[in-house]
């Protein structure tokens, strides 16, 4: 509530800060002598022409709102404070409160409304692609009030008076500020990192936003040139793909040309084979003739200076692999065969022998095969390797053909058949030179050959003559003959014989069973003595009739023991009866 004062006094804050989009509340407190009431209160804002434009006229009986750009965005509180919502950047101006108090006159005061954006956008920094003189450009958007921009190299602030700063006020009222950096650069600045910093005010305090770090594209001539072979020249082998890489430290890179020295000691231009981007020469599927001296030449288009560098390419190889066999022909079973291997290469070699399955069978230049036979592997491989050059190897195969007369290794005998049945007779043999198979009977033959192995299947119908005579398989070549007999067994006769045997066994079992029953019956009747009791004298006195002993020589099942005890009881009863009969006789 207003308090008494010696004269009319109006109190207002000097500055009110508010964020864009928020609500600004500007208070107007006044004091009159003797607590006299006011006559009116007027609110004004100062436009860009420095004119006061009225917003409200307030009296004790009514409130009049003028038709201005603030209509629908301003309101009055009960204490006659002026509120603006939502605040825009255009509201950053002076607002005036004027109070009329009748005979005490008219008084007024003002408040500066300060508007700020929440945060300006992070500065966007881009380096330039050409020099000189502009190095980079920094842009900050959506700031209010307009920020300041500073430049830094490797973290240290640059102080250049040549920088160009542009401030643009957008239609939204926010500011876009751009700054271009102009400064001398040297070759060493190719490794420098530049960034800009945007300095802005927020709630009356200073803040800063840093941009990303960027490198500057500095142009300078090449000082050194390097030519290298990929992979290393010491590991290149025939069939490899080799790349010659030429590199220079100039920017932009110079123009590269490739050359190779020929047998006449002249340089042959290979630039047409190089990649279009330059600096790379690809050599595909290199061989022995690819070895030699290669040269890379660079040309700087800025100052037309030239540099060159040479390198030697060595293509490692293995050639002339040959295998010698002793004896070279007509190898017979039981002989000893020597294999020797040789090759040429500029690097040290190792030799390894493998059989046709790929299994290792020996090391060194020579391999000795003793007591060879048909079962000896007929193909051997000499693998020549260069340990110092991984992957460099060559192989050579040799065939060891062991000769001998045929040997029959499998035959289908005996073969159980039935008369008039169609069966297959099988005969397998091994021999070299390749043999022929003959059968002693007629039929349909099918032959299968695999190296020294031969198999013959003969399809025939079983006859009585075939059952009696069987069949003969005869295998022959130029070195000899082998033959074996196939026995055919009639399954019907075999079944009948087996039936007679089974019947005989059944009859024998029945006879044993009947005989056992008769013996048991006679025993029950007391006609046959059993065990040790049967050896007693039946005329002995009664005092000895209890002297019956049963011995068990080995462990028996409980059932056998029970039967034995039962038999003894029956013997004792029989002895008692004999004793009683003797007593009666007396």
**What was the pLDDT predicted at 392?**
92
In tens, the pLDDT along 302-349 reads 788 889 999 999 999 999 999 999 988 778 888 899 999 999 999 999
Q: What is the DSSP string of 189-205?
A: GGG-EEEEEEEEEETTE
Range 279-284 average pLDDT: 92
CB 466 within 8 A of CB 441: yes
Minimal CA–CA distance to 312: which of 298, 295, 289? 295
In tens, the pLDDT along 85-142 reads 999 888 889 999 999 888 888 889 999 998 887 677 788 877 664 445 778 889 988 8
Query: Distance between CA atoms of 230 and 245, rounded to whole angstroms?
Result: 7
In tens, the pLDDT along 225-266 reads 999 998 876 789 999 999 999 999 888 889 999 999 998 889
Q: Is residue 499 part of a domain?
A: no
468: domain CATH number is 2.60.40.10
Same domain, 302 and 353: no
**What was the pLDDT predicted at 356?**
87
Range 449-455 average pLDDT: 87
**What was the pLDDT predicted at 532?**
42
Same domain, 396 and 450: no
In tens, the pLDDT along 503-562 reads 778 888 888 888 888 888 887 776 555 444 444 443 334 433 333 232 333 333 333 333
Q: What is the 3-state secondary structure (H, E, C) of 451-501?
A: CCEEEEEEEEECCHHHHHHCEEEEEEECCEEEEEEECEEEHHHHHHHHHHH
Q: Is residue 229 part of a domain?
A: yes
Range 486-499 average pLDDT: 72
In tens, the pLDDT along 31-41 reads 887 777 888 99
Average pLDDT, the chain: 82
Same domain, 307 and 323: no
Same domain, 411 and 486: yes
Same domain, 107 and 26: yes
**What was the pLDDT predicted at 173?**
76
Same domain, 301 and 229: yes
**What was the pLDDT predicted at 566?**
40
Q: Is residue 197 part of a domain?
A: yes
Percent of the chain surpassing pLDDT 70: 85
Q: 578 versus 493: which is more confidently predicted? A: 493
**What was the pLDDT predicted at 561?**
37
Q: Is residue 38 part of a domain?
A: yes
Same domain, 106 and 13: yes
Same domain, 366 and 417: no
Minimal CA–CA distance to 96: which of 68, 67, 54? 54
Q: Is residue 202 part of a domain?
A: yes
Q: Is residue 58 part of a domain?
A: yes
Domains identified in the chain, total number: 5
In tens, the pLDDT along 135-170 reads 888 998 888 888 899 999 999 998 877 778 888 888
Q: Is residue 557 part of a domain?
A: no
Same domain, 440 and 471: yes
Same domain, 169 and 250: no
Same domain, 392 and 420: no
Looking at 475, 490, 505, which one is the last position of a domain?
A: 490
Per-residue pLDDT band for 568 (boundaries 50, 70, 90) equals: very low
Q: 208 versus 131: which is more confidently predicted? A: 208
Would you state the structure tokens that stand for residue 555, as one six-digit string? 């462990």
Same domain, 386 and 309: no
431: enclosing H helix or E strand: strand 422-432
Looking at 215, 235, 252, which one is the last position of a domain?
A: 215
382: enclosing H helix or E strand: strand 379-385
Q: Three-state SS for 91? A: helix
Per-residue pLDDT band for 499 (boundaries 50, 70, 90) equals: low
Domain span at residue 272 reads 225-313
Q: Is residue 579 part of a domain?
A: no
In tens, the pLDDT along 348-372 reads 999 999 998 899 999 999 999 999 8
Range 376-392 average pLDDT: 89
Percent of the chain surpassing pLDDT 90: 42
Looking at 215, 246, 275, which one is the last position of a domain?
A: 215
């Amino acid at each position: 509530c207003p308090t008494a004062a010696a004269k009319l006094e109006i109190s207002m804050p000097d500055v009110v800060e508010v964020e864009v989009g928020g609500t600004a509340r500007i208070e107007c407190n006044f004091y009159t002598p003797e607590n006299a009431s006011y006559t009116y209160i007027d609110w004004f804002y100062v436009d860009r022409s420095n004119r006061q434009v009225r917003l409200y006229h307030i009296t004790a009986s009514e409130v009049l709102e003028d038709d201005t750009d603030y209509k629908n965005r301003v309101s009055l509180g009960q204490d006659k404070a002026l509120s603006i919502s939502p605040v825009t950047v255009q509201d950053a101006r002076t607002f005036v409160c004027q109070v009329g108090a009748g005979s005490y006159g008219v008084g007024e005061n003002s408040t500066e409304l300060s508007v700020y954006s929440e945060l300006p956008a992070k500065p966007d920094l881009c380096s330039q692609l050409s020099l000189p003189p502009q190095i980079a450009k920094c842009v900050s958007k959506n700031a209010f009030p307009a920020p300041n921009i500073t430049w830094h190299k490797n973290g240290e602030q640059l102080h250049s008076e040549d920088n160009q700063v542009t401030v643009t006020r957008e239609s939204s009222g926010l500011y876009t500020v751009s700054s271009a950096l102009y400064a001398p650069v040297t070759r060493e600045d190719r490794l420098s990192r530049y960034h800009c910093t945007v300095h802005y005010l927020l709630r009356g305090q200073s803040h800063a936003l840093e941009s990303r770090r960027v490198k500057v594209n500095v142009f300078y001539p090449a000082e050194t040139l390097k030519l290298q072979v990929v992979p290393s020249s010491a590991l290149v082998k025939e069939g490899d793909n080799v790349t010659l890489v030429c590199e220079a430290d100039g920017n932009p890179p110079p123009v590269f040309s490739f050359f190779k020295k020929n047998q006449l000691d002249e340089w042959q231009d290979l630039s047409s084979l190089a990649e279009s981007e330059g600096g790379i020469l690809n050599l595909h599927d290199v061989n022995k003739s690819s070895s030699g001296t290669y040269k890379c030449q660079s040309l700087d288009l800025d100052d037309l200076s030239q540099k060159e560098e040479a390198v030697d390419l060595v293509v490692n190889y293995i050639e002339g692999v040959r295998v010698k066999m002793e004896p070279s022909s007509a190898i017979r079973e039981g002989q000893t065969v020597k294999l020797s291997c040789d090759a040429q290469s500029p690097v040290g070699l190792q030799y390894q022998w493998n059989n046709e399955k790929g299994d290792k069978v020996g090391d060194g230049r020579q391999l000795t095969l003793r007591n060879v036979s048909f079962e000896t592997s007929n193909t051997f491989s000499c693998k020549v390797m260069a340990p110092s050059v991984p992957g460099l190897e060559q192989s050579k195969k040799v065939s060891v053909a062991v000769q001998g007369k045929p040997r029959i290794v499998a035959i289908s005998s005996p073969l159980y058949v039935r008369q008039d049945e169609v069966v297959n007779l099988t005969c397998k043999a091994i021999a070299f030179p390749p043999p022929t198979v003959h059968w002693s009977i007629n039929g349909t033959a099918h032959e299968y050959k695999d190296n020294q192995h031969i198999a013959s299947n003969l399809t025939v119908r079983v006859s009585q003559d075939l059952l009696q005579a069987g069949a003969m398989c005869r295998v022959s070549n130029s070195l000899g003959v082998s033959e074996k007999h196939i026995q055919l067994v009639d399954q019907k006769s075999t079944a009948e014989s087996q039936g007679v045997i089974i019947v005989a066994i059944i009859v024998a079992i029945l006879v044993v069973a009947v005989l056992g029953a008769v013996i048991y019956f006679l025993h029950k009747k007391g006609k046959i003595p059993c065990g040790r009791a049967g050896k007693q004298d039946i005329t002995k006195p009664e005092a000895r009739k209890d002297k019956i002993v049963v011995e068990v020589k080995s462990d028996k099942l409980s059932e056998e023991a029970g039967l034995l005890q039962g038999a003894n009881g029956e013997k004792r009863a029989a002895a008692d009866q004999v004793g009683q009969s003797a007593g009666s006789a007396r």
